[in-house]
């Protein structure tokens, strides 16, 4: 089975750590049973120019917001905008088949707000969320979610 594609951004390393553990978990699962897909993850740096995607992908995005309270007053996305611009570029958004968010629950209503916003803008489901570096249980659950979604949409033409 084709590898599951993930695009992500990580400013302080939490998302990178999570995606690395998810990739290692997928490799293990694939060794147990080849029907379990491996993961092909690509990090988008804050200064990276967009490239054209030609296969379906999932997006992993942490939350960095300034201003507003996330409910009725405006807020501004900071730090992660290169990922949003990457997805917006050309036809890339067509290939986005789901968004996984992360953040810190201390931010209350603003928890994972960027991922929720991306899901709306790019018309893709908000699949799941985890806090900071996530737990082993998060890795296992999210791998399960991605494999199910990938089986449904991963090989479909955009």
Footprint of ligand FMN on this chain (CB under 6 A)?
10-16, 62-65, 102-104, 107, 110-113, 132
Phi, psi of 40 (to 5 degrees): -115, 105
In whole angstroms, what is the distance from residue 71 CA to residue 89 CA?
28
For residue 95, what are the contacts with CB-CB under 8 A and spacing of at least 6? 53, 54, 55, 56, 57, 158
User: What minimum distance in Å lies between the beta carbon of 80 and ligand FMN?
Assistant: 8
The residue among 7 and 154 lying less far from ligand FMN, judged by its C-beta, is 7
| Closer CB to ligand FMN, 130 or 150, in the complex | 130
Question: Residue of minimal CB distance from ligand FMN?
Answer: 103
CB of 83 to ligand FMN, least distance (A): 11
Q: How far apart are CA 95 and CA 124, in angstroms?
A: 9
Q: In the bound complex, what is the minimum distance in angstroms from residue 60's beta carbon to ligand FMN?
A: 9
Q: Which CB sits closer to ligand FMN, 29 or 114?
A: 114
- In the complex with ligand FMN, which residue's Cβ is closer, 15 or 147? 15
- C-alpha of 97 from chain center: 10
CB 78 within 8 A of CB 37: no
Instruction: Name the minimum Å distance from CB 96 to ligand FMN.
Output: 19
Q: Which two tokens stand for residue 3?
A: 């590898």
């Amino acid at each position: 089975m084709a590898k599951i594609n993930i695009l992500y951004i990580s400013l302080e390393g939490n998302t990178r750590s999570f995606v690395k553990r998810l990739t290692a978990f997928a490799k293990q699962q694939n060794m147990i049973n080849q029907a379990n897909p491996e993961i092909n993850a690509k990090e988008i740096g804050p200064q990276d120019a967009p490239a054209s995607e030609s296969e379906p992908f999932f997006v992993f995005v942490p939350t960095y917001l300034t201003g507003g309270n996330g409910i009725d007053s405006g807020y501004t996305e900071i730090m992660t905008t290169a990922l949003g611009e990457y997805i917006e570029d050309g036809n890339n958004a067509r290939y986005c088949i789901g968004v996984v968010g992360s953040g810190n629950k201390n931010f209350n209503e603003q928890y994972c707000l960027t991922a929720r916003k991306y899901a709306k803008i790019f018309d893709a489901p908000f699949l799941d969320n985890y806090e900071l570096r996530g737990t082993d249980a998060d890795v296992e659950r999210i791998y399960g979610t991605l494999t199910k979604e990938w089986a449904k949409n991963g090989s479909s033409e955009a």
